[in-house]
Amino acid sequence: MSEEKTTHFGYETVAREEKQGKVAEVFHSVAAKYDLMNDLMSFGIHRLWKRFTMEFTGVRKGDSVLDIAGGTGDLTMKFSDLVGPEGRVVLADINESMLRVGRDRLLDKGYSGNIECVQANAESLPFDDNSFDVITMAFGLRNVTDKDQALREFNRVLKPGGRLLVLEFSKTNNPLLSKAYDFYSFSALPLMGKIITNDADSYRYLAESIRMHPDQDTLKAMFEQAGFANCEYHNLTGGIVALHKGIKP
């Protein structure tokens, strides 16, 4: 069977090799105002979702952590404090603009000693096998072209017993919440994007990309197919967001 040559960019069907560039354009456009827009879009709740994620990581002093699609470094800073000077945290993002914003923010806040910043594609990570105790990916997986390949790569670079946590927008089964969420996503988000970043199209793509992302049970099955054990997920805010966790055997 020949490999599928097209994929989704939001609701648009594009050639697989085009998606990465199109996603890059979105994040080049929004990088400078990314944190502000996250606060506005989620009414600040994204901070609670990330705090919940941190509680599940089990990160300890001396651990090695990969924060992939780490963007502006929210989780990286917390991991840096937890692993201490003997630990290692890698802030990785495929997008140069996002990585630059994250690196500058970390330096401005006095973080540097145990942190590396690496431009990296989740589908082809530049790290050795069995390198990390924990990998986190917050709101990045839906932008990856080949999600199955990315999950296999995460499994490869984790140490045995290592943990993968993926925080991502997901599917709510509450009809009223779903209706309100759709109205908000396709009306309010592009308008906010236009006002704050002068870019409505990028935020329309982000809303569409959420709808095209696998639901909770599908993503859990993808974790298992990639070789993870003890896979589970936790719905947050009625399933608008879900945290998936898997362990490398």
Cα 154 to Cα 149, 172, 189, distances in angstroms: 9, 27, 31
Residue 170 contacts residue 237 (beta carbons within 8 Å): no
Task: Check whether 200 is labelled as a binding-site residue.
Answer: no
Helix (H, G, I), strand (E, B) or coil at 139: coil
Helix (H, G, I), strand (E, B) or coil at 75: helix
Structure tokens at 37: 């827009």
What are the strands, taking DSSP E only, across 79-180?
88-93, 115-119, 132-138, 158-169
Strand-pair category, 88-93 with 6-9 = unpaired
Task: Check whether 129 is labelled as a binding-site residue.
Answer: no
Q: Based on C-alpha coordinates, what's the Rg of the chain?
A: 17
Alpha carbon 60 to chain centroid distance?
Answer: 22
What CA–CA distance (Å, rounded) separates 246 from 232?
A: 7
Task: Check whether 122 is labelled as a binding-site residue.
Answer: yes
Cα 38 to Cα 104, 160, 201, 232, distances in angstroms: 18, 34, 16, 26
Instruction: State the amino acid at position 115 in one-letter form.
Output: I
Task: Check whether 198 is labelled as a binding-site residue.
Answer: no
What CA–CA distance (Å, rounded) separates 245 from 249?
A: 13
Annotated binding site: 72, 93, 121-122
Annotated binding site for S-adenosyl-L-methionine: 72, 93, 121-122
